[in-house]
Structure 1
Amino acid sequence: MRTVGIVGTGVIGACVAFALARRGVRVHCVERARPGGLTTDVSFSRLSAYQQPTYPRFELSHTGMIEHVRFARQFDNAPWWFPTGSLAWSDAGGAGGAGTDESFAQVVDRLTSWGYRALWCDAARVNREWEPRIAFPHDQGPIVRFPDEGWIDGPKLVSALIANAQRSGALTLWNSAVEDIEVDGDRVVALRLASRDRIEVDAVVNAAGPEAVTVAAKLGAPMLGAVASRSSLVIDLAADGDPVRHVLRGAEAHVRSAGRGRVRVRSDQVDAVLPADHRPEPGDEIVKDLLERAHRTVPALASAVVERIRLGTAVFPADGFPSVGALPGVSGYYEAFANSGITLAPFIGRTLATQIVTGEVHPLLTRCSPDRLRATS
């Protein structure tokens, strides 16, 4: 495989590009916006396997977390990687999470039975030893610390990987949308761009995130409704100092650092009632709701200043597994899009690059073939 075009340069596309460049492949990345500046930049970007309901999905996410450790060690420093650990607690009803009948304790017990590290402690200890600024519902309430979780600065990761591959001379970045994927017989041969450029390639990777369905349709390979979407309201705050050290999965809001003096917040409850196609503005009731939930979780945030309010939308296979690999019947066409893209990106990058170059499919990706999204039954 000599030349590969990658459509989309979010975190997954960048990881695939980096891994291919490391294997000596010539890579053309096509991105209509700043690399890492769309879905990747709006993501809460937590490293976690917490919300995976079945062991196969958990195993894939847990492997992705472990891959981040290996991945970071390839560099002299990895300023995008923050293995802070996380803290989680339930509301008074003990709900395990949106869309589940499990209690919080049952969720944690299931995870620990699968080998996920978790430490039970009470709220008073957390306030005393780790996070003095969190306002828990009860001093003796049960809190779980997940020491292997953390968060990723997605745009910083993307920027580092693209720059690394460009310095090696293996990567060219095209600032354009894709107009068409050219096929000769049953083989991909070129990308045609909205800029009227034509790039001859031996293979194409569709890593276009929310636009992956549209890109697949250009090939004549529609996904027949086998995908789901999820929107999330995310607010970045400028705060004094560093109000939180861990990633917080609170009963009302999720909170994490976003770099020194900055905090990012979201909420499952808020996302569950987001109006379709809503464009949030300061002063909106739904924005005020999220901020109030964040303030109740970490009262020090009441004095923080709102920096950015954004709505991110993720598109992913409805069965919860990523779409990664070759599409049978079209030589040279590959897909790489997923839920939990931040967690899975380095693993997808390494294993898909291996598949493109050698044909070897990683065992954990056997459930992830793109052809399942084209089934008619």
Structure 2
Amino acid sequence: MKTAGVVGAGVIGACVAFCLAQRGVHVQCVDRGRPGELTTEVSFARLSAFQQPTCARFELSHTGMLEHLRFARQFEEAPWWHPTGSLAWGEASESPSFAEVVHRLGVWGYRAIWCDAVQVNREWESGIAFPDPKTPVVLFPDEGWIDGPRLVSALLEAAQKTGFLTLWRGAVEDIEVRADRVVALRLDSGARVEVDAVVNAAGPGAPAVAAMLGAPMLAGIATRSSLVLDLRTDGDPVEHVLRGAKAHVRSAGTGRVRVRSEQVDARLPAGSGFEPGDEITKDLLERAYRTVPALESSTVERSRLGTAVFPADGFPSVGALPAVPGYFEAFANSGITLAPFIGRTLATQIVTGEVHPLWARSSPDRLRATS
């Protein structure tokens, strides 16, 4: 393998490009915008395996969390990596119950420490307003959050320093195939970029890129929208990632906090083109205020709606598509958590042909089934 094209410079594309460049593969990475500015930048970016409903999906997410530590150790500094731990609590109406979810995680080996609201306010986060002093709370000490754009920037800079990465700003209009094998990318600028393989890491644009090859994703694709607010604050009112019953809250750097809510997101229509109105934004802010009252003095710095497109079964699409030699996919939900693991293992597959066993359920072939 001499040259690989990577379509998409979000967190997954950047990790793939970095790992390929480390192996001495010349990488041509193409993105229509600034690297990391789309889905990666809008993500809440919690590093967690909390919401995985099966052991197989949990194992994949947990492995992704551990891979972040391995990635961070490759750099003298890793300012994108924030292993703060997280605090979580639920509502009585949840099904399965919050306690059942935590118990299941414990059976699978996930570290969780039970406490109550009084202990949390006394020892860790004095600014959280719990519904009751006896509210059961769980500390997940191995969780945290990732500054996605900063990670993307660091990886691409490091890859460029190897001399094996070229960045292209533009859209891929076509993928050229000769003798049934990928041979080049054609960009909207008119450039033709010769490659020996191509990785589709285009995030929400991945289905459109696949269709260029006559290999459309015909089944099992889901779409989800999420409203994220970045607030400018006086000081830093939270240290941990908070998965509250009403809202999720985390630091977004000095003097900034990021918030979202599963209940608010459930009200959003799937797909792009929707603009959240003042009512929905106000609902999210009020939920954040009820969780951390100090946020009432904050100001909204940015309001953004992200749209994620991903395999509906919860597993990524990672690996080769045998019908199109030289074509690989790297397409996932929870992209922040999985990106370093996808990058390392997919680079290995591209160079050596070795497929990591955790990708057994993630073949791109399954998204082409018609029945």
Q: Deviations over 1:171-223 (max 9, x none)?
A: 11100000000001210000000110000000000000000000000011011
1:255 is paired with a residue whose SS is strand
Runs of 4+ in 1 over 6 A off after TM superposition: none
Q: Deviations over 1:96-133 (max 9, x none)?
A: xxxxx311100000000000000000000000000000
| Pairs within 5 Å for 1:1-377 | 1-93=1-93, 95=94, 101-275=95-269, 277-280=273-276, 284-377=278-371
Q: Distance in 1 between matches of 2:220 and 2:326?
A: 22
Q: Deviations over 1:45-64 (max 9, x none)?
A: 00000010000000000000
Q: Distance in 2 between matches of 1:74 and 1:164?
A: 11
Q: Distance in 1 between matches of 2:55 and 2:187?
A: 41
Q: Distance in 2 between matches of 1:79 and 1:246?
A: 16
What's the offset of the Cα at 1:285?
Answer: 0.1
* Preserved CA contact (<8 Å) 1:280 1:309: no
Q: Deviations over 1:265-319 (max 9, x none)?
A: 00000000014532135xx100000000000000000000100000001111011
What's the offset of the Cα at 1:350?
Answer: 0.0
Report the residue type matching 1:365 in the other structure. W
What's the offset of the Cα at 1:92?
Answer: 3.7
Q: Distance in 2 between matches of 1:186 and 1:11?
A: 29
1:78 is paired with a residue whose SS is coil
What's the offset of the Cα at 1:169?
Answer: 1.2
* Preserved CA contact (<8 Å) 1:9 1:36: yes
* Preserved CA contact (<8 Å) 2:219 2:369: no
Q: Distance in 2 between matches of 1:23 and 1:359?
A: 14
Q: Deviations over 1:219-254 (max 9, x none)?
A: 110111321011000000000111000000000000
* Preserved CA contact (<8 Å) 1:45 1:154: yes
Q: Distance in 2 between matches of 1:92 and 1:110?
A: 17
Q: Distance in 2 between matches of 1:123 and 1:294?
A: 17
Aligned pair count?
369
Report the residue type matching 1:75 in the other structure. F
TM score, norm. by length of structure 2 = 0.98
Structure 1: runs of 5 or more not aligned: 96-100
Q: Distance in 2 between matches of 1:188 and 1:108?
A: 46
Report the residue type matching 2:57 in the other structure. R
1:131 is paired with a residue whose SS is coil
1:51 is paired with a residue whose SS is coil
Paired position in structure 2 for 1:98 = none
* Preserved CA contact (<8 Å) 1:216 1:223: yes
Q: CA RMSD in A?
A: 0.8
What's the offset of the Cα at 1:366?
Answer: 1.2
Q: Percent identity?
A: 76
2:49 is paired with a residue whose SS is coil
Q: Distance in 1 between matches of 2:324 and 2:92?
A: 52
